[in-house]
Structure 1
Amino acid sequence: MSTSTRTLTIGDAVSSLLRDGMPCRFTAYDGSSAGPEDAAIHLELVNQRGLAYILTAPGDLGMARAYVTGDLVIHGVHPGDPYDALVLLMNKLEFKRPSPVEAMQIVRGLGLSNLKPPPPPPQEALPRWRRAMEGLRHSKARDAGVISHHYDVSNAFYEHVLGPSMTYTCAVYPHEQATLEEAQFEKYDLVCRKLDLKPGQRLLDIGCGWGGMVRHAAREYGVKALGVTLSYEQAQWAKEAIDREGLGDLAEVRHSDYREVVESGFDAVSSIGLTEHIGVRNYPAYFSFIRDRLRPEGRLLNHCITRPHNQRQMIGAFLDRYVFPDGELTGSGRIIAEAQDAGLEVMHEENFRLHYARTLTGWCHNLRDNWDACVAEVGEGTARVWGLYMAGSRLAFERNEIQLHHVLAVKTTEDGRDGFPLRPDFSRRRGLFGEG
């Protein structure tokens, strides 16, 4: 019997939209199903609201809404690490574009009432056009709001997910068997080595998070370090950590926009995971600000997520609404060009794409292993958001859809001195305790 002569089921609709059939098991609240019964992964659409989410926001946003609310359940994977399900769906789930007539038949068959959008989950930020009413993109006020949306979730939640380092940026794995904590230590130390930090120097760390770089530079290299973050919760945690470690004479963290730093003459500036938030059009002002804060021969290490191409590109709907509102990415070539145009000499560039995939794997495992505590802290919906985005990001790094680049630059003197040796060696540790 054709679907045109009987009531269309959700399973019928799903099957009609797939080129090669459903690669996993799918069941719906109307009793219909699709895909192999013995599949390891099972998608369950549990209610009408989930269907309405998917129909009114086709693509990743609708699916994410249904998943975050629990209206779409993925069996066979842990919600803290749905990586295996995402691999299967991204590799095997290929939708075909229906004609307008076919699309209308499907919608009518499923019921026009499903075209009324349900209220979005509470974890979702306003769409870009609504955020525009709160100020220009990347104005100080709007940036403060979007940073708070992501980072002021719960310090206890981040402790569970990130581990003791409280570091929410790509780690650098010194060898195959390195732990996440070892890799985060190596990342901070590599930044210090690239900046050639020495006791008594001054470091400015912009977008400092929970103060990991500030504390590492002060503790391991005897540097007087100032960090700034727009997140109040991060700043408070960092200040307490500085006091616990007895680093108050060297390390300081301010709850502030980096653009409000008036001091200058720094020996080095580190920017670890900030550039993604500032907007590509603001790169000239960003790199000019850094140049003006450096002394002659002072160094910059810029660590940021990039695209594998150099076009300016907004992030996808799910990430924009749930994770990094107003986030923009471009390629390492654009980063280098903008630094050069601001008058900085680029000395070294390095890609850590696969290191970030490993880092995200570690975070997902932490979320999975501490799931009950994380849910108790922030609620299941928010915990699902983090599991989905971190597992999806891991896959994106593995597939070379996004990358992570270090760009090392210097403010040369008027007569061209850069302070670098002829052949810099960043592999040798020169901290307070000697070479490691």
Structure 2
Amino acid sequence: MTMQGIAPTIESLFKGGLPVWFKAYDGSAAGPLDQPYGLELVNERGLSYIMTAPGDLGLARAYVAGDLVLHGAHPGDPYEAFSLLKDTTDFGVPKPSELVGVIRALGVSHLVPPPPPPQEHLPAWRHRLEGLRSLTSPFGRWGRHSQERDADAIHHHYDVSNTFYEHVLGPSMTYTCAVFPTEDATLEEAQDHKYDLICRKLGLKAGDRLLDIGCGWGGMVRHAAKHYGVKALGVTLSREQATWAQEEIKRQGLDHLAEVRHSDYRDVEETGFDAVSSIGLTEHIGIANYPAYFSFINGKLRPQGRVLNHCITRHDNIDKSTGAFIDRYVFPDGELAGSGTIVTAIEDAGLEVQHHENFRVHYARTLAGWSKNLADNWDACVAETDEGTARVWGLYMAGSRIAFDRNEIQLHHVLATKTEDGTSGYPLRHDFGA
């Protein structure tokens, strides 16, 4: 490969060709210059990020650091631009023969990796070493997903700032897939409908006891207490979430029924719950820990009690990595499995699956709503955190929306009962309605 300038050389890394224009700080340009969307590489550090971590991680590092600038799209909602990129590009690592040409064209000095942006979490290999150490630690239950390490991962993502989440999530403060009852329903209406649907699937009634594992800011706990008269306990590893949730419970006068604890769910001592809800937590558990997790839930239920598991899933049941960007910037230690794997684990834990439902298209709509909120409140979100963090959120929500749109990932509800001696307490037909 002969020296052509930075932009043409970078373009050569994109197997499908660049669908957007690309300009670099050396004055070179490549790609369709009449396209409204474009990428601008503004400094040498950005080039070093791209060269030392080929693929999505290098591009993400440069983008988050502000060294790679997206033009023609709002950083809070870059969905249209990233959809175009994903259609025609392959961010895979170049072949060795291609890599030699790239190095010759761009310079060996750019093979020295700069320090990653401060928003980046520990890489997977560092996690694995810590996981081995945790096996001899008093916190070492469940190996890689020890209580200490899970708390750190949750802190990385969920303790950004309650005010930041208020801007992005809206008044519901619900960071899980909404369920849209109609085409024109608002995000808030859809979140309320989601909680009510789960309450009905669990068959909740006044006086029941509910355990909500990974309760976030307490939306499910408050809904069940307020609308169904349920005595609800929620637990979260995020201190910020627990503090906000308890204050909101008191503000709504629900503290005689609802409680949110800053606690690992494994430390919940109470048993005999009528229902357990797990909304958006299974993604953080680790596939190897599914048997222990669903056995734990089984042990918390009374006979004929119900559990509703709501989680992001793969479109298949093949074990794959979530990718470097997601692991380091968004959900450290996160793992996704197919819904069949979830169902199998629930059944193997001794629970009887009664209903199974896919809400994939609803999550794409939910993410569109959150992205719009981020874009509309961009200045406030940046002021509350920093521009790099805000760019991470815009990037990850747009990418996730694309993945849901294209059936690469899904969102499933699995409803099960603690059936004993053949008695499930479940009606002849589902009675939770449409």
Give the shorter-chain TM-score range. over 0.9
Q: Contact (CA 8 Å) 1:8, 1:106: kept in 2 or not?
A: no
Corresponding residue to 2:273 among 241, 261, 266: 266
Could you give the per-residue CA deviations for residues 217-242 of structure 1, whole angstroms, max 9, x where no partner exists?
Answer: 00010000000000000000000000
Corresponding position of 2:210: 203
Alpha-carbon distance in structure 2 between the residues aligned to 1:209 and 1:162: 12
Corresponding position of 1:80: 76
Corresponding position of 1:432: none
Distance verdict in 2 for CA 1:334–1:20, change over 3 Å: closer
Tell me the SS of whatever aligns to 2:145: coil
Cα deviation, residue 311, structure 1 = 2.5
Corresponding position of 2:149: 142
Corresponding residue to 1:119 among 115, 120, 129: 115
Letter in 1 for 2:382: V
Distance verdict in 2 for CA 1:248–1:405, change over 3 Å: same
Alpha-carbon distance in structure 2 between the residues aligned to 1:145 and 1:94: 33
Tell me the SS of whatever aligns to 2:306: strand
Corresponding position of 2:27: 31
Alpha-carbon distance in structure 2 between the residues aligned to 1:64 and 1:98: 17
Distance verdict in 2 for CA 1:19–1:328, change over 3 Å: closer
Corresponding position of 1:291: 298
Segments of 5+ residues of structure 1 without an aligned counterpart are 429-436
Alpha-carbon distance in structure 2 between the residues aligned to 1:18 and 1:387: 22
Could you give the per-residue CA deviations for residues 351-390 of structure 1, whole angstroms, max 9, x where no partner exists?
Answer: 0000000000000000000000000000000000000000
Distance verdict in 2 for CA 1:28–1:299, change over 3 Å: same
Distance verdict in 2 for CA 1:137–1:248, change over 3 Å: same
Answering whether residue 357 of structure 2 is matched by residue 350 of structure 1, we say: yes
Q: What is the TM-score when the length of structure 1 is the normalising length? A: 0.95
Corresponding residue to 2:127 among 108, 124, 131: 131
Letter in 2 for 1:422: L
Alignment of 1:294-309 (within 5 A): 294-309=301-316
Q: Contact (CA 8 Å) 2:270, 2:300: kept in 1 or not?
A: yes
Cα deviation, residue 106, structure 1 = 1.7
Percent identity between the aligned chains?
Answer: 70
Alpha-carbon distance in structure 1 between the residues aligned to 2:269 and 2:232: 15
Corresponding position of 1:10: 6
Q: What is the TM-score when the length of structure 2 is the normalising length? A: 0.95
Corresponding residue to 1:326 among 333, 343, 349: 333
Q: How many residues align?
A: 423
Corresponding position of 1:420: 426
Corresponding position of 1:156: 163
- Hey, which bits of structure 1, 4+ residues long, moved more than 6 A? none
Corresponding position of 1:431: none
Cα deviation, residue 38, structure 1 = 1.4
Corresponding position of 2:139: none
Letter in 2 for 1:377: E
Corresponding residue to 1:100 among 91, 96, 102: 96
Alpha-carbon distance in structure 2 between the residues aligned to 1:290 and 1:358: 30
CA RMSD between the two structures: 1.3
Tell me the SS of whatever aligns to 2:371: helix
Answering whether residue 77 of structure 2 is matched by residue 70 of structure 1, we say: no
Segments of 5+ residues of structure 2 without an aligned counterpart are 135-142
Alpha-carbon distance in structure 1 between the residues aligned to 2:424 and 2:111: 62
Alignment of 1:216-295 (within 5 A): 216-295=223-302
